[in-house]
Structure formats: structure tokens, C-alpha cells
Structure 1
Amino acid sequence: MVKRVEIHFQTRYSPFSSDDTDSEIRFDRHGDGIGRYNIFNFQARGGRYGYQRVGYWGEDLTLNTSLIVWAQSSIPTSQCSDPCAKNEAKSMQRGDVCCWLCIPCQPYEFLYDEFTCMDCGPGRWPTEDLSSCYDLPEEYIKWEDAWAIGPITISCLGFICTLCVFTIFVKNNNTPVVKASGRELCYILLVGVLMSYSMTLIFIAKPSTTVCTLRRLGLGSSFAVCYSALLTKTNRIARIFNGVRDGAQRPRCISPASQVGICLALISCQLIVVTVWLVVETPGTRKETTPEKRDTVTLKCNTKESSMLTSLTYTVVLIVLCTVYAFKTRKCPENFNEAKFIGFTMYTTCIIWLAFLPIFYVTSSDYR
């Protein structure tokens, strides 16, 4: 008698023939029967639609493609999902390894793998094939830019004109006209004007630690030199004529040496403010990008716009005081009519600065 286990083993793994179907029945290594299928194509034959056998499947595929009639001229693609483009990542469907969705990467992302888009980070941009990232070039005002040529030209012309005036003063240093104008304060004022014109070149230069330091030192200091000299001059005139009107003695500290000392004291206040600013905020550079323009990197000084405006507060105070004294001395005798010109200058200066401060704050995000 044959044991039942042996019969089961023989029927599970060994092929055998069937008298009814006249075919061989076979099993795979798991003991499952090998499926066999006929493949039909639904097509028109003789004006009628029917199925045409075009192949079969046993342990492999046999297909006669010449018998297949396609609905269109080209053979359709047999796949669940099309391959993703080079800027797209696959999003696999749950429980399916053959079907996926193609998710476009953002312009600033690269393909970490075929399933993941990864941000390059600020200041970086993906390569053409999205395989990696590279550092974006830094943008800043260059000497040959149209935005720089205009200010440089005006600055150079102003610098030359100021030097010419300075030369005239030096040549006529001991004449009564130069002495009466307060030559010491005039020289300080001319130095401040030269510094102001020089700041144009410093602000156009490529940002670096040295350039950023000079910007902080020069911006407020150049204005402080100019307006300290004007404030000292107008204050002296006001004290002289107030003393004459009140019948008092000659005012103190109206000698040239005293005037220079007062002017330097006013300038030193601005230098103290700038020195504290340099200590609190170490000068340097930073790369700036905005969410709206990730592909643009701007090289700037690491100075906050609020700090820059705060450093000009002292200058605004000098302008206001200078304007007040200029208004008080507007009715001086003809021999002191420079007070009227100073007054006119300060009135226009106030208007310019009222426009400058908000414009500077609003446009500070654009390096041009």
C-alpha cells in the first residue's frame, strides 16, 4: 500500500498527463499549478466584430503582434504611470509599486533621489540636471553700472569744485575777506564737503569689512563736520548781535580758537556715537536673499537700516539747531549777510532731509 504522504508529494511536485485533456499538468516550486491563458484581440473581421486568438501564456509569453489590430495607428503604452520629467519627483501610491504621481520640484530644489525634492538653501541654486546645487554669484553695484556712473560723475565734479574753492581760500588766506568769513570754520566746512563727496565712492565700492567700516564712520561724520561748522558760525553771529542789542559785554568764546574748539567738540559727539555703534555691531558683510527672488543674492554690509538711521539722529539735531539760529540771524546787517545765505541753505536742507529719510528707509532693500 502506497503511503498517503508520498502520493501527496508526487502530485504536488511531479508533472503528470491527463487522459481527458491530452495535456501535461505541471506545478511550480510552491506546488501551485502553472496557469495557461489564451490571449484574444477584439477586432472587426468581415464586417463583424469578434475575438481573434493572437497568443497565449504558459510559462512564458507567446504573442503574434502581426495579428493584433490597434484602435489607433500607434501601439499604446502598457504602463500605469509615465516616467517623471527631470524636475519631478515620484510620489508612490500606497500599496502600489508600479503606479505613482509626478510632483514638480520648486525652482530652488534639486532631486535628492527619485522620490525627494530637497531645498538647496539660501544663496544656492540647482544645477541644470538637478543633481546638486551651486553657490549663486553675488550681486552688488559695479563701477561700470549705469546706476554708478551718474553718482560718480556728480561726485567727481563736486570734489573738483570744492578743491578749487579750497585752493582759492589757501591762496588768499591772509586777506581781510577770508579772515572776516571765519576762515578756520570755512576750512572745516570744506573738509566736510570733501568727505561727503568721497562717501559716494565708498558706498559704490564692493562691500567688505573695510568698506563697511568706512561707511559707518564716514556717513554721519561727514555731515556732522559740515553742520557743526555751520552751527558754530550761526551761533557765534547770534550771540554777538544779541549781546549788542541787550547792551551786554562782549560774548565769550568768539575767538577763532574758541570757535574751532566748539566745532571739534560737536564733531566728537558724532565720533563717540559711531565708535559705540562699531563696538556693539561689528562691521562685516552678509548675503541677502528674499522669498520672492530666491535666485538673486545681494552682497551687503551687515548693518541694519534702523541702526543706520539712528546714527544720523545726531546729524538731524545739528540741522534743526542750525536752522533755528539761521532764522534768528536772518535780519543781521549787510556786513553779516552770510547768515541769510546760511538760512536759505538750511531751509532747503530740511526739505531735502525730510524726503531723504523715508526714501532711504523704503528703498534700502534694493542695493541699487
Structure 2
Amino acid sequence: NMDAMQWTSGDPSVPASVCSLPCKMGERKKVVKGVPCCWHCERCEGYHFQASEFMCELCPYEQRPDQNHTGCQPIPIIKLEWHSPWAVLPVFISVLGILATTFVIVTFVRYHDTPIVRASGREMSYVLLTGIFLCYAITFPMIAAPDVAVCSFRRIFLGLGMCFSYAALLTKTNRIHRIFEQGKKAVTPPRFISPASQLVITFSLISVQLMGVFVWFATDPPHTVVDYGEQRTQDPENARGVLKCDISDLSLICSLGYSILLMVTCTVYAIKTRGVPETFNEAKPIGFTMYTTCIIWLAFIPIFFGTAQSAERMYIQTATLTVSLSLSASVSLGLLYMPKVYIIIFHPEQNVPKRKRSFKAIVTVATMTSKLSQLTSERPNGEVKTELCEGMDTMPSSKTTYVSYTNHAI
């Protein structure tokens, strides 16, 4: 009487009289050695799929298993989208920076012949403002969907904006340094301090960056790649291929390295000219600009390269790079040009010609500054002031030939 039989499981149905149950979809049979009718079912894990009843195989590199692990399907390809939070903030900062830079350029063009604009070195100011504009504008090709044109723009303008900015600032600080160093030795001005000479020096520095970019284009033409390893997670469901330009970290370092070299050299000259009297030049604002910029890029390096193994690498590195470029441009724009624009617009009564300085006056200031530094280390403050004043009283007064230097132009 089968109905009267009691099974230990408590289930009245008759147990299946088999050694192993059939395996489910996505599982392979692992046969028990010596018992061909018995097997264990093993799930095809990770990027493996069920190739046959007894075997799991690995999907091709650009594919992942389907939901049942019975076949493979292409891995979805992603890119940085404009609506992504990682793109919204850099774009917002960039748009504000472009508007501010355009406003400054328009103001300088409109008041082209006023004393403050002339004293700022009009030619070099336009070069520097061009670099600032490019630093803001590079955000858009960095976020745009990669193709050959976008990748070409990235290569050209990634380091070019910084190169324009720091080549101009380096030329300015070097000029200030040479003028006051020459003033300690002789009353003749140094060579290559005219606006035309400054432009030649600046564009010579910029041409090095452009030559490097052209060599890069010749040896490795720009193209796009799909990186399946950047977001190849343990769970195939989350795997993504990243569409990006073929720019390695080494290429990025080389592209930005020359501009960073200019930045460091400019900072050195800014430190050397920090003791120059403020009435003669804008060395102190340039110095503050370079110190702040160095801090920004020192913070950028560990963030950029410290996230190389992160699954969000593409988003973090792009946002970090674009924000760093925009912040360094904002520092230059804010410290060097906004005070001048403020005076031009809101205090036009201060936008008047300054008293011209002869190179002899620069020599006098340079000599007195050097003498003050020497006496400070040798005598108390009172003696330094007394001796310095006595030295100035005994200086012979003579006629000097005036050179077309204004306070800020020096």
C-alpha cells in the first residue's frame, strides 16, 4: 500500500530515484569520477557562459554573458555625458570664466588708449587673456563625445592655454628681474625689453609647445578607442566599455609638462622680484598668482593619478583636470585684471597718466633697495634708516634722459 508509506521528509510523494537532477540553464555538469550517471551542477560564474552540457567558456574581451549565462552579448559603451554631475560643475565654471574673460577683453579693447591699459602692457595682456580664454574653453572638447576632430582639439589646446598664460607671465617677470638687476650695475637699460621683443620671446616659448604637438600628431595620429578594462567589474552586469581618445597618462604628462615647467620658472622669477618696489611694477600680483596656481596644481596631481584604479576614473580625472585649468585661469584673471577693470569702470578718475620714471630712477631704487638689504644685516634699524637717508641726501642731482617707462609697465 504505497499511500500508507511514510517518508522521513514528511512529503507523501515518492522521492525521485535518480543520482543527480538535471542542471539549470547556465550550469554545467561536473561528472563524479567512476559514476557516469552522477554529477554536480556548477554555475558558470563571472564572464563565463555555458558553451556545452559539460563546459563553461570565457566570453570575448568586448562581450559579457547574458542573464542566463547561456551566451555572450556586447558590453555597453559609455562616455561622459553633458548632463552628468561630473560635467555640469566644470561646464558651469567654464561658462562663467569665458564670460568674465570676454568682458575683460572687451573692456581693454574699448579703453585701449587709457593709461591703465597702456601701463599693463597691452600686447602681453592680450596674449595672457588669450591663454586664460583657452584654459576655460578646453572644458568643452574634454567633455564632448570623442571622435577624431574632438581628439585633435584636445591634443592641441590641452596644454596650449597654459602655455600662452605662463609664457606671457614668465616673459613679464623675467623683464622686471632683468631691469632691476641691470639697474644695480649700470644706467643703461637691458636688451629686449620693448613690446616687440617681449612678443617675440613669448611666441618663441609657445612655439616649443606647438612643435611638440605637431610631432605627436605625426608619430601617433589622433583616434578613439574603447577601453573595456577601465570598468570591467567582477559583476558582468556592471561592466562598461569607455569610449575615449587615445591619450595615455604619459602623453598627458608630456603635454602639460612643458606648461608646468614654464609655471615653475615663472614662480622662481616671481620670488626673485618680490622685493621690487610696488610702485614700479606688478610683480607682487604676479607672485600671488603663481603661488596660488602652484597650490592648485599640487592638489591636482595626487587626485588625478591617485584615482587611476577607480571605476569612476574617467569622470574624476576629466572633472579634476578641467576644474584645475579653470581655477588657475580664474586666479590669473582675478588677481591681474579684475582690479584694473574695476578702476577703469568704477573709478575713471584714477585712470590718469602716471609720472614717468627715468631709467636713472630705477637704478636709484635698485641701488637703495640693495643697500638697505645689506645694511639691515649689519646694523640696527635706526642706523640703517639714518645712513640710508644720509646717502640719498648726498647723491648728486643730474639730468637724465627719460625713457618711456611708466610705473606699471616696468
TM-score by length of 2: 0.70
Residue 114 of structure 1 aligns to a residue whose secondary structure is coil
Q: How does 1:76-87 map to 2 (within 5 A)?
A: 76-87=15-26
CA apart distance, 1:351: 1.6
The structure that has the greater radius of gyration is 1
Contact 2:168-2:202 within 8 A present in 1 as well: yes
Q: 2:352 is matched with which residue?
A: none
**Residues 166, 75 of structure 1: alpha-carbon distance in 2 compared, 3 angstrom cutoff:** same
Does the 8 A contact of 2:28 with 2:53 survive in 1? yes
Give the SS at the match of 2:226: strand
Corresponding residue for residue 352 of structure 1: 296
Choose the corresponding residue for 1:341, options 285, 291, 302.
285
| Residue in structure 1 matching 2:240, options 292, 296, 307 | 296
Residue in 2 aligned with 1:326?
Answer: 270
Tell me if structure 2 keeps the 8 A contact 1:141–1:148: yes
Match for 2:102: what amino acid?
L
**Unpaired runs of 5+ in structure 2?**
316-410
How does 1:50-61 map onto structure 2 within 5 Å?
Answer: none
Q: Tell me how far 1:66 sits from its aligned partner.
A: 4.8
Alignment match of 1:113 (pick from 29, 52, 55): 52
Could you tell me which residue of structure 1 aligns to residue 102 of structure 2?
A: 163
CA distance in 2, matches of 1:337, 1:364: 43
Q: CA deviation at 1:199?
A: 0.9
**1:301, distance to aligned residue in structure 2 (A):** 2.0
Aligned counterpart, 1:367 = 314
Matches within 5 A, 1:221-260: 221-260=160-199
**What does residue 69 of structure 1 align with?**
5
| The structure with more helix, counted as a fraction of residues | 2
SS at match of 1:103: strand
User: Are residue 141 (structure 1) and residue 80 (structure 2) matched?
Assistant: yes
RMSD value over aligned CA atoms? 1.9
Note if 1:195 corresponds to 2:96: no
Q: Which string of whole-angstrom CA distances, capped at 9 and with x for unpartnered residues, describes residues 285-324 of structure 1?
A: 2222255455222222222112211222211210111011
Give the match for residue 358 of structure 2. Answer: none
Q: Which amino acid aligns with 2:113?
A: N
Q: Is the 8 A contact 1:305 1:364 kept in 2?
A: no
Q: Please list the CA deviations of residues 310-363 of structure 1 after superposition, one character each: whole Å capped at 9, or x if unmatched.
A: 222211210111011111222223333411000011111112212212221122
Residues matched between the structures, number: 304
Check conservation: 2:20, 2:37, Cα contact below 8 A. yes
Distance in structure 1 (CA, Å) of the matches to 2:193 and 2:90: 39
Partners of 2:278 and 2:162 lie apart in 1 by 28
Specify every segment of 5 or more residues in structure 1 that has no aligned partner in the other structure, as ranges: 1-64
The letter for the 1-side match of 2:190 is: P
Alpha-carbon separation, structure 2, partners of 1:86 and 1:125: 16
Alignment partner, residue 220 of structure 1: 159
Q: For 1:111 and 1:144, locate their aligned partners in 2 and report how far apart those are by CA, in whole Å.
A: 39
Verify: 1:314 aligned to 2:261, yes or no.
Answer: no
Q: Superposition pairs for residues 19-58 of structure 1, below 5 Å?
A: none
AA paired with 2:200?
G
- SS of residue matched to 1:347: helix
Q: Which amino acid aligns with 2:242?
A: T
The secondary structure found in structure 2 opposite 1:283 is coil
Q: Percent identity?
A: 44
Q: Report the Cα distance in structure 1 between the residues aligned to 2:245 and 2:109, rounded to whole angstroms.
A: 38
State yes or no: 1:275 paired with 2:219.
no
Residues in 1 aligned to 2:61 and 2:183: alpha-carbon distance in whole angstroms: 67
Amino acid of the structure 2 residue aligned with 1:69 = M
For residues 93-151 of structure 1, give each alpha carbon's deviation from its aligned partner in whole angstroms, at most 9, with x where no partner exists: 34543211211111322211222212112231222333322212212210011111111
SS of residue paired to 1:286:
strand
Choose 185-194 or 90-99, whichever is displaced more: 90-99
Kindly tell me: are residues 337 and 77 of structure 1, through their superposed partners in 2, closer, same or farther at Cα, counting changes over 3 Å?
A: same
- Give the 3 Å change call, closer, same or farther, for CA 226–314 of structure 1 in structure 2: same
